[in-house]
Structures are given as C-alpha cells and as structure tokens.
Structure 1
Amino acid sequence: MIGDGGGEISGTLTITADDQAPQVITLNGFAANLAITTEQLKTGSAFVPYTQLIQTNNISNDIVAKFSIIDGEKPDWLTLDPNTGYLHGMPKAAGEHTFMVKAEFSSDDDKFSEYDLSPSYAKFTITTSEELVNEDGIPVDSFVTDGFEIKTPLPKIEEIKDHSIKLTGDISEIVDVYIDGQKLVKNSDYKITSSTEEISITIFSDVFEDLSEDEHIVAAEFVDDTAHCGP
C-alpha cells in the first residue's frame, strides 16, 4: 500500500463470500509518501572498506528507486550504486563530507499512475577517522559488522610466520583482504579456508616480513548469505 500524502489509517474492511460468514479486518497504521528512511551514515576508518545501504520505505516490487548524489561534497573514494543505494569505497585518510542523496521513484505499472511518486531527498554527513573505530565512532582494536564475530583476532606480530584471523557468522564469501588499504592477492598473499562453524583468513609470512615495525590495519571485506557486504 502506498499512501497519497500522510496520515493515520483506521477503520474496518469487511470481506464476504457465498456461504461464508463475513470476515471483518480492523485497519490501523500510517500512510506516507515514498521516502529515504536512512537517517545517518555510520563512521568509517582510514584503510577499512566502507559500506552502507541507503534505504527507503518502498516495499513494492513494481516500483523502482534510482539513487544519485546531487549536491555537496562527496569524497573521491566513495561510490553510490544508482540501482541499489549501496555506498562503498576505501577511505585513505580522515575527513568529513556532507552531500545530498536523491531517490527517484518510478513504475511501469498503470495502477501506480495516480499515486504520488515524488523524489525524496536526504542530506548526509560521512565522517572517517585516522584511527580504527567501530560504526559508532568509538576507538577499538578490532571490530566486525553486527551479526558476525571475530573468533580469533590477528595477534601482535612478534614472529614472522603465517598468521590467521577466524570469523564466525553467515559469511558466504571473503571478497578482498587489505593491509593499510592495499589489496592483497589471494593464494599469493593469503588463503581462505572454511568450515560449517568458521571461516579462516591466513596471511602468509612474506606479507609481514615486508611491513615496518609500526601499527598496521588489516581489513577483510565479505558478503553474507543475504548478499550484503561488510568489513
């Protein structure tokens, strides 16, 4: 159901059929025009893949939303998928950027011709930190997208050898692995092993041998079983 304007829905709906008692359904709720429902963007970290979905209240398969950035200062590293509203990129430094997102709604179904399919606009500010922070902007030593767990974190590297990170959750694929924003090469720099209980990322010793004796950020980007992507 798409509301033409906004307001409360109340009343009853009576359904009748031959040889059956009438069925009365009580209606309640709220009708509103289609709109962007995402209120704010999560905080990002330098050298950690950034992902977020711009969502709307559209629940109809017959209505298509197209997304675009129409105003403001979008960071160079950030892309917006016009078909899904998916924000993605790799920040390389701290910063703060404010921009306007537009969602345009359309349908080829004539039944929606009388409904208000006006565009929706929302202004967002994206903040990235030089240090590792979680999605709420709180400094941490490690974190993973909500719904997943780091079972075995990467240890402090005191010996040059292969080291592994173990994750649990409904992960269908590890997309990429990075150190300080540089993409590693699968099967050359690292390997992936998985079981029904966990997935393991083993980074080979040669990678650590080439690093300086400073702090480094290791990040992995994965897709879960619903095709959502997260770090």
Structure 2
Amino acid sequence: MIDLKDVTIRYGDAAVVNNVTLSVEYGQSFALVGESGSGKSTILKVLAGQLSNWSGRIRLGEHELAHGRDKALVRLCQMVFQDPYGSLHPRKSVDAILSEPLAIHGIGQRDQRVQDAMAAVGLARKFRFRLPHQLSGGQRQRVAIARALMLDPPVLLLDEPTSALDVSVQAEVLNLLKALQEDRGLTYFMVTHDLPVVSFLCDRLAILRQGRVVEEATVDQLKQQAFRSPYGQELLSHSH
C-alpha cells in the first residue's frame, strides 16, 4: 500500500532523511520510531503532500506520488495530528469540520455521512454543533479521526496520535484506532517515540536515526526486546 524507494528529503541544502526504502502491506499498521529530530515526521509530511523537496520514488497503492500539489493524494491518505486542539478550526462546529471535506469534493448525503462518522468514532449526537473548546481532548481527537475518515481514504497517517492526551484517554483512542482498522481494513503509517503504543497497535516498525533506517522489526521482536541494532536496544532501555 505504501512504498518508499531511496527517498531523500532536504530542508534547503541539508538532507534530513537519507535513502530511506520502506514498504507497508495493505491493511498493515506500521510505525516509524526514533527520537526527536530523526526525520520521522518529515517522512510523514512528504506522504501527506506537505513537502515537495524530496527525491526517490513513493507509491501509495497504484498512485505514484508527484512533487507538486497532488489532488488524488487527498482521497488516498489523510493525517491525524498530534494536537487535536491545534488541528481543528476553533470557530467551526464539529458539523462544519466534518462537512468541509465533503463540500470540497462534491460528495452528497452530508447529513447522513456526518452522523455515520460521529457514530463510527463514538461521539454522541449532542456534540455535533459544539465548538472544539467545548470538547475534551479525547473528544477532539475523535473529531480529528472522523474528519480524516470522511473521504474513506485507505491510508491514515498518524502523527503521535495520543501523545497530547491524558493516559486514561490514550487507551480509549488507541482502542478506537484498532477497531476502525479492523472494521475498514485501513493501512496505518504512524510516527511515534512511544514503544508501548507501537506494541499495542502495530504489526511492524522501522527505527530511524539521523535520517536513516537502522533496523526494521516485527512487533513480536519488540515484545521480546529482540532488536538487533545497538540503537534499537538503546531505545528499548529508555522505554522502561
């Protein structure tokens, strides 16, 4: 579903990601882990079409990623951001936030689709006309997930999707993401530094250090603490 071949990403003259090659199967949940500054969010931004200064080859499904504004990309993948407060328009109601992608893409039955999306993420109807500041952090992240699903994309890009939430709410949102993936056969590409989240949600992971992949592993290897690279072992020791 996602295929990166020899991808290098630059900010100005500096390469922040070097020759990364990765592939993610249909319906798989894949995590890119590493400390801050390793380049993992940069890869996510390229997949989301937010950065164009990259070389190499990227494919999503049958779609070859272009360097400019890529309209087809919006229907293929959507991003759920780390901070649900920052990513939702403060003066738009939940209804307006969820209706907007449908309006932009000329999709009908808006009323029904908004209700279905709210039900899918476990938001009661009474929240439909509330503003983001009238919701809790967990409810806002549910709205952000619902918005990402409005166009039925096969891929969700998850940028530290629970790190801004209270611990009790993190579990609810992770359970929701797992259930949605199973129901809809979604492919997840997640960026995180939180290894327990990876072991709960993902099938495979790649460890990124200073813009390079140092190791790919299965979640079983993570659970058994059987990373092969010294840097992978270092990350394990920090996660306890």
TM-score by length of 1: 0.22
More strand by share: 1
Indicate the structure (1 or 2) with the bigger Cα radius of gyration: 1
TM-score by length of 2: 0.21
